[in-house]
Structure 1
């Protein structure tokens, strides 16, 4: 059941398409310096459908979260 719910939430994100997060300490991402005080946008609607993360991301396949596959644990930011 848990895998089924995770897959529904991956495809139909209950938090919406984007999240806004305030930067509290300087970080570097992809060669860019992001200073404190900036606001970054996390586009969950895009990341949840990236083929670099999920195999056949447009398909409904709850078993993608089951061991040993666990696609949601391939990248630490998920």
Structure 2
């Protein structure tokens, strides 16, 4: 799945996509910054995964695609196991 970002002042959206099964997710931070994450198809991401790109709130106008959700992160760790 791809993520498309419409930047302020740009006519065409920028797209994170590839044809090799990589999926992309986005998260809008409390500050308004937009973080883009890369995820292998059918896998989960580490809870401490770092974004591959971060755009400040003044850079982007809108985003479409799949937002980062709890199911992307996999199960949490349980103390004692």
TM-score (norm 2): 0.23
TM-score (norm 1): 0.23
Bigger strand share: 2
Structure of larger gyration radius? 1
Bigger helix share: 1
